[in-house]
Structure 1
Amino acid sequence: MSTAPRERLILTTIELIRSRGVSGVAVNELLSRSGTARQSIYTHFPQGKNQLVEESARTAGSHISAMIEQLCSAPPLDALRTFVECWKSMIEASDYTAGCPIAAATFGGHEAPGTVDAARVAFSEWEQLLADNLRRSHLDDTLAQSLATMVIAAIEGAVIMSVATRSTRPLDRVGRHLGELLEAHLGEKT
């Protein structure tokens, strides 16, 4: 079963944002890669490329939120380890050419202002999901929120460094130290 043109446009735009940033989403390449007609953009996104890019950023954020929500059904340390492994797999699968679409969307605001809003929403959702998981492990609200921010910020930075260095070592190191940090705080509560 083939994917509908709207979905192909969004998925292809996410791929391009991951590897080239918002400014790297060229319409001709987008159409070629997605196998859609130019009219499809304007049929599904009447405001044009910017609307498509903004919707793609929101969709990418929602997909990652759903992944994090699923991971957070496990205890925090297990969720962290799996999250790091997921990022390593995604980066390796791209041959170190693509990182987080939300980090890239953050810097696309000059071209498509709604991408910054999409990034803000996604980061907030991710933090909340992680903080809720930590609260279920009996950490107080302030500490849970602070640790969730630390986890997201550190992993996002490690993803960027992993792409730049063509190595998952930054993710391995950050994952190990975040695990130690969580273990220290969670150990105090058990």
Structure 2
Amino acid sequence: MLELIQRHGYSGTGLNTVVEHAGAPKGSLYFHFPQGKEALGAKAVELAATRFGSLVADSARGSATPGEVVRRVIDELAGMLDGSDFQLGCPVSVVTLEMGAQSERLRDACAQAFESWIEPVSDLISASGRPRPVARALATAVVSMVEGAVIVSRAQRSTEPLYCAAQAIAVLLDQSAEASA
């Protein structure tokens, strides 16, 4: 479901397509997700959150500064976009835009996903010396900028918006570091 949402959106992904893509019997879908597509969508958003969280954690290994971590993450995202011919995007933003006003369950899943990315980025920024409220605000801005850059990159079929976001984020984080020093 996750890859299908990335390619076709939540609304464009039917349960028959999910079953066919998974190569599983239809009954197993309803056994594991008796509440149907909405429950499966929430689980896909949760999986996307976990994968992106792992990407951030892997990128932070070593003595990387927050700016370096963001550059590493953006390099991975740019590779994913380019490698998929700009077909794969962030399933969390897709579900948020399509279903956030219609399904409280999916909106909550998306909000939790974004929070699961903001919090570790905030921790990383805070560990580099920023006060906690400043780190939280910067982390929220970073996640928002990266998400927006992925969308613009898909629309323009170019990784340039992602790399522009990386440059802006580095400036933002560097200026914040100088201000708190």
**TM superposition score normalised by structure 1:** 0.87
Q: Which amino acid aligns with 1:172?
A: Y
8 Å contact kept, 1:22–1:111:
no
Q: Which amino acid aligns with 1:144?
A: A
Q: Which amino acid aligns with 1:71?
A: S
Residue 162 (structure 2) aligned to one of 171, 179, 184: 171
Q: Which range is displaced more, 179-188 or 150-159? A: 179-188
Q: How does 1:4-153 map to 2 (within 5 A)?
A: 13-73=1-61, 74-107=64-97, 108-109=99-100, 112-153=103-144
CA distance in 1, matches of 2:65, 2:85: 30
Structure 1 residues without counterparts, runs of 5 or longer: 1-12
8 Å contact kept, 2:19–2:26:
yes
Structure 2 residues without counterparts, runs of 5 or longer: none
1:162 maps to which residue?
153
CA distance in 2, matches of 1:177, 1:111: 34
Q: Secondary structure at the match of 1:23?
A: coil
Q: How many residues matched?
A: 178
> What does the per-residue CA deviation read over 1:138-186, in whole Å, with 9 as the maximum and x for residues that have no partner?
1111211111111111110000000011001111111111111212222
1:6 maps to which residue?
none
Deviation at 1:116, TM superposition (A): 1.2
> What does the per-residue CA deviation read over 1:79-102, in whole Å, with 9 as the maximum and x for residues that have no partner?
011011111011112210121011
Identity among equivalent positions (%) equals 31
> What does the per-residue CA deviation read over 1:44-95, in whole Å, with 9 as the maximum and x for residues that have no partner?
1112222111111112112212222232333211101101111101111221
CA distance in 2, matches of 1:40, 1:143: 47
CA distance in 1, matches of 2:40, 2:66: 35
Q: Secondary structure at the match of 1:138?
A: coil
**TM superposition score normalised by structure 2:** 0.91
8 Å contact kept, 1:50–1:111:
no
1:4 maps to which residue?
none
